[in-house]
Amino acid sequence: MAELMILLPALTIGLLMMLIHVPLGQEVLKRGIIFIDLTLAQLAAQGAIFASMSGFGSFCSQAAALFCAFLGGLFFLEIEKHFKEIAEAVIGCTFVLSATLVILVLSGHPHGAENINDILSGQLLFTDWQNVVFAGTIFLIATVLVYVKPELFLKKYFYIVLACVITTSVQICGVYLVFASLIFPAVATSYIFDERKRRRIEYLGESFGFVAGLIVSYYFDLPAGPAVVWGISLMMPVCLWKNNLYKS
């Protein structure tokens, strides 16, 4: 029981994050900009790292992360408006440039490799209740806004909501898990046209996958982010298979 209590903050923040990632992931897939979340996550991490290296505190690092993600969101919004046919390519190029810039900047840093690993894999198991309250509040507010006013916050202000959510997610869960949590469930259920049913399956599969990955990472001393990524990826086909079995 004591061991499970250690995992409780990470589990709580993961499930709260999932509430908003599911509808955002569906919108990302619908718009055909699959790598937008990966790129915004990378930009947010870049802002946080550069602020931290400059000697700024935690609050300034959070602000720098949000600023970079927000600028990226505005830039991609303009690209989507005026150059829709190459939007995905531009998003991919931005990700590569941001990722390589971080590598170049951190190459001479004594903890550079550790920082890069934190960007990609996150620090999920080290989440405390203070992070849960802060990040969870953002996730819950964004979820309410998206479900109550979808035409406004899932359509018109989609990039702003996505930038705020991803800025919060990536600093805890890492780039890999943020991408997987948004895109894997959306892709797996893309053939289901009933939106309520689709979201129900996504929430179910991602919840089980998150719990399974977290437990495996703890007991086998594996990085939590990558383990949860695999947990989500393996649970989605199982949920879809069970759904088809009951339907037939």
Q: Judge whether residue 73 has pLDDT over 70.
A: yes
Q: Judge whether residue 64 has pLDDT over 60.
A: yes
Cα separation, 18 vs 178, in Å, equals 10
Q: Which pLDDT belongs to residue 158?
A: 92
Nearest to 34 by CA among 182, 155, 232: 182
Give per-residue pLDDT as tens, 134-191.
999 999 999 999 999 999 999 889 988 999 999 899 888 988 999 999 999 999 888 8
Q: Judge whether residue 245 has pLDDT over 70.
A: no
CATH 3.40.1160.10 fits 2-247, yes or no: no
Q: Judge whether residue 86 has pLDDT over 80.
A: yes
Q: Which pLDDT belongs to residue 248?
A: 47
- In which band, very low, low, confident or very high, does the pLDDT at 132 lie, cut at 50, 70 and 90? very high
Q: Which pLDDT belongs to residue 244?
A: 61
Q: Which pLDDT belongs to residue 94?
A: 94
Q: Which pLDDT belongs to residue 126?
A: 87
**Poorest-pLDDT segment among 42-46, 66-70, 225-229, 236-240:** 236-240
Q: Residue 149: count other Cβ atoms within 10 Å of its Cβ.
A: 13
Q: Which pLDDT belongs to residue 56?
A: 77
Domain residue ranges in the chain: 2-247
Q: Which pLDDT belongs to residue 242?
A: 60
Give per-residue pLDDT as tens, 90-119.
999 999 999 899 889 888 777 777 878 888
Q: Judge whether residue 247 has pLDDT over 60.
A: no
Cα separation, 20 vs 146, in Å, equals 8
Q: Judge whether residue 58 has pLDDT over 90.
A: no
Q: Which pLDDT belongs to residue 63?
A: 87
Q: What is the arithmetic mean of pLDDT over 184-213? A: 91
Q: Judge whether residue 207 has pLDDT over 50.
A: yes
Q: Which pLDDT belongs to residue 8?
A: 92
Task: Please provide the DSSP assignment of the chain as one string.
Answer: -HHHHHHHHHHHHHHHHHHHHHHHHHHHHHHT-TTHHHHHHHHHHHHHHHHHHTT--HHHHHHHHHHHHHHHHHHHHHHHHH-GGGHHHHHHHHHHHHHHHHHHHHTTSTTHHHHHHHHHH--GGG--HHHHHHHHHHHHHHHHHHHHSHIIIIIITHHHHHHHHHHHHHHHHHHHHHHHHHHHHHHHTTT---HHHHHHHHHHHHHHHHHHHHHHHHHTT--HHHHHHHHHHHHHHHHHHHHHHHH-
Q: Judge whether residue 22 has pLDDT over 70.
A: yes
Q: Which pLDDT belongs to residue 32?
A: 85
Q: Which pLDDT belongs to residue 3?
A: 63
